[in-house]
Chain A
Amino acid sequence: MSALQDRIVAARAEGRAALVAYLPVGYPDVDTSIAAMVAAVEGGADVVEVGVPYSDPGMDGPVIQEAVDVAVRAGVGLPDVLRAVSAVAEAGAVPVVMSYWNPIERYGVDRFAEDLAAAGGAGMITPDLIPDEAGAWLAASDRTGLDRVFLVAPSSTDARLASTVAACRGFVYAASTMGVTGTRATVGDAAERLVARTRAVAGDLPVCVGLGVSDGDQAAEVAGFADGVIVGSAYVRTLLEDRGPDGVRVLSRELAEGVRRAKVRT
């Protein structure tokens, strides 16, 4: 069974989408980042993407780059990430690690899978690892029962949508716009089209949408067609603007209200 899918299905049973919050470990420091994750949960996040800082975040825009750069320079690593995972689980949300591939490979895929499972993590989202290259992770996640979330994009062919979805467990991450992370003025209908195409091959597997959502209204809009709304840069910006865990809690409340506002398909 899948901790992520269970949580998202539970939200659906309440007639709403799940709120998925991304925050990187180590900005502005490890303890504050963990406090911010807990605050996100207190404000209403169902799932927390615990971000692993990486020196070359090719898929991230300037906001997330600025924050992870600080964490990378401070030497934040996977032991800190595992501590954050435990804290999120304790706070009552489902923790899922979000990592570029090299830090995981460096730590050891099998070792990380075991340590992540032991820390109470649900699994991992891998933005630069496609299932085609994921042999070791597929095996490790099967062995440890962890979820594995791969991304689909508007440019994915139907064949790739099908094969990527087949490799996912927990949910499918629909990267809604072509581009890097960052808040956007509009969500755009590319997201809705991608979700529809993904659903056609996803069966029961939830589809969550990320890249660009920044406020309650956008969360409500996305919640109208997706099972989960993923918010990253808006949370990180809150920390960059020195609004701290309290600001994160306030943002979470607004977003949690947003995902409840939309009429969700059942």
Chain B
Amino acid sequence: MTLSAHAPAPDVPDATAPAQWPDATGHFGVYGGRFVPEALIAALDELTAAYEAMRVDPEFVQEFARLQRDYTGRPSPVTEVPKFAEHCGGARVLLKREDLNHTGSHKINNVLGQALLTKRIGKQRVIAETGAGQHGVATATAAALMGLSCTVYMGEEDTRRQALNVARMRLLGAEVIPVTTGSRTLKDAINEAFRDWVTNVETTNYVFGTVAGPHPFPAMVRDFQRVIGDEARAQLLEREGRLPDVVLACVGGGSNAIGIFTAFVPDGGVRLIGLEAGGDGVETGRHAATITGGDPGVLHGARSYLLQDVNGQTIESHSISAGLDYPGVGPEHSFLHDIGRAEYRPVTDAQAMEAFALLCRTEGIIPAIESAHALAGAMQVGQELGPDAVLLVNLSGRGDKDVETASAWFGLGDRTAPTDGDERAVEAGRGAEPGPGLDEDQHATEGAVTNDEAVAGQDAGEQQ
């Protein structure tokens, strides 16, 4: 790998140009589409039409750009990390600093776009699912900014792992509903959010947090996240006069990865590598490496790779990282995998935590545990490619939310990470137990919830 490996390509990708995929009905090859109850089709059609009109509307483009600059703090910088890179076979490592965004991760990019869309279609209430809590925090933030009522579904297990983010959402005025069905993680939060949406669709927009779900979410979320790669590509060309050899990102549902990949997809010489959560190791069965260890099927409204058993039941995923602990993945990743444009590799909990610690100590940056999976990937790929390689890593978020989990992992202090049986987070007033006046139960979709009684607008938090 040398500097001449790539002809400089100074052209700036046009984010408003029509994308190569999906097709008109939301398919990326055989993946994607809409596998949802008929009751949601009208809302998805409405969303698609409104989004198509909005994305080319100069007023929106201007407003979105203004928010990204003045509110999120874009463009996010690119930071070279030479001391960390010593552990990456001496390859050069550059981090795209999505951790420096307002609210602490890339999730805000998507949410601002969808919040503007919500206002455009005249709905007053947003719902969201969240795993690590970053998407929930971002949605609660945008809702506060734009005067929308906000309900966030979060697996009960995750409300404990990411108690700090539960408190943040509540401070921002959102209602957080711990989900107690199934595996009590992100997958079940998505099920519950869909149930809320189908019940309250007349008043409510579903702000989906990743590039999965039914059409138009995979394409729309990608479009809102592609700013990551658009910026990074231009930043590398300007600073280095060349493109990176490899772009790396962690993959939960896949939004930060698609966000940084998209601008580089046409650059055939740039390798795109997604790092999946390998948990205890793919061979143990306790992991969340969907493409590495799964098969194509249908989950949460789209066809894509997923972790499933012989009966087609979704297998519960495992990862130290709540944001990657998801048995599905966005359909565009499945497509990029099958056509060979991107590679997907697993990173175990242990490998991710090693990379996490290294970045903290060598560079003074505490990454999100999600993002640490991408850093671990850079350590491997750097070893493989050697000192001439230039690696661009998406640092999708910061690790403030993960301090307890990391402390427990490294045995720092007397604190252990909150677990299912652990009441400490609750005692501290920021665990799974909602505060006074907040809904404790999941939404009462059982019972006489009809259109006329749909939880409306600013009152949503007061109904039960």
Contacts and interface: CB of A to CB of B under 8 A. Distances in A.
Interface of A: 53-59, 61-63, 65, 69, 72, 75-78, 101-107, 127-130, 132-133, 150-157, 160, 164, 175, 177-180, 182-186, 188, 190, 233
Interface stretch (B61-69, B336-344, B442-450): B442-450
A102 B328 CA distance: 13
Contacts of A53: 313
A102 B41 contact: no
B447 A184 contact: yes
Contact of B198 (A54, A72, A179, A188): A179
Contact of B313 (A65, A72, A132): A72
B201 A56 contact: no
A106 B310 contact: yes
A109 B303 CA distance: 15
Contacts of B187: 56
Contacts of A127: 37
A153 B312 contact: no
B34 A58 contact: no
Contacts of B195: 58-59, 61, 179-180
Contacts of B310: 77, 106
B38 A130 contact: yes
Contacts of B451: 154, 177-178, 190
B25 A132 contact: yes
Nearest to A80: B311
Interface in B292-329: 297-301, 306, 308, 310-314
Contacts of B314: 55-56, 102
Contacts of B450: 177-179, 184, 188, 190
Contacts, number: 147
Contact of A178 (B199, B313, B448): B199
Contact of A179 (B35, B306, B311, B445): B445
B36 interface: yes
Nearest to A186: B448
B33 interface: yes
B42 A180 contact: no
Contacts of A179: 195, 198-199, 445, 449-450
A56 B447 contact: no
A129 B35 CA distance: 5
Given A56-B299, A175-B39, A104 B312 contact: yes
B186 to A, nearest CB: 12
Nearest to B39: A153
A183 B310 CA distance: 32
Nearest to B37: A59
B198 A178 contact: yes
Given A77-B311, A154-B451, A185-B447, A178 B298 contact: no
Given A101-B298, A130-B36, 5 more contacts: A153-B39, A155-B38, A156-B39, A177-B450, A179-B445
A76 B311 CA distance: 8
B350 interface: no
A29 to B, nearest CB: 16
B198 A59 contact: yes
A179 B453 CA distance: 11
Q: Among A57, A105, A106, find the residue whose CB has the most chain B CB atoms closer than 10 A.
A: A106
11 contacts: A56-B299, A56-B300, A62-B445, A102-B308, A128-B36, A128-B37, A133-B33, A151-B38, A155-B42, A180-B195, A183-B446
Q: Among B42, B43, B450, find the residue whose CB has the most chain A CB atoms closer than 10 A.
A: B450
A186 B447 CA distance: 9
Q: Which 7 A-B pairs have the closest CB atoms?
A: A106-B312, A153-B39, A103-B312, A182-B446, A77-B311, A155-B42, A55-B313
B41 A160 contact: yes
B34 A132 contact: yes
B34 A133 contact: yes
Contacts of A133: 33-35
B214 to A, nearest CB: 10
Contact of A101 (B35, B308, B448): B35
Contacts of B264: none
B191 interface: yes
B42 A157 contact: yes
A77 B309 CA distance: 10
B196 to A, nearest CB: 9
Given A56-B191, A128-B36, A130-B38, A155 B447 contact: no
B37 A58 contact: yes
B407 interface: no
B37 A175 contact: yes
B312 A107 contact: yes
Given A54-B313, A127-B37, A106 B182 contact: no
Q: Among A57, A63, A76, A153, find the residue whose CB has the most chain B CB atoms closer than 10 A.
A: A153
Contact of B297 (A77, A102, A132, A188): A102
B362 interface: no
B224 interface: no
A86 B202 CA distance: 42
A156 B42 contact: yes
A65 B179 CA distance: 13
B463 interface: no
A61 B308 CA distance: 23
A215 to B, nearest CB: 14
Given A69-B181, A102-B312, A155-B201, A150 B298 contact: no
A151 B43 CA distance: 16
A56 B182 contact: yes
B116 to A, nearest CB: 24
A102 B314 CA distance: 9
A237 B273 CA distance: 49
A178 B43 CA distance: 12
A106 B311 contact: yes
Given A77-B311, A105-B297, A154-B451, A178 B446 contact: no
B38 A102 contact: no
A61 B446 contact: yes
B178 to A, nearest CB: 15
A65 B198 CA distance: 16
Contacts of A164: 38
Q: Among A69, A164, A188, find the residue whose CB has the most chain B CB atoms closer than 10 A.
A: A188
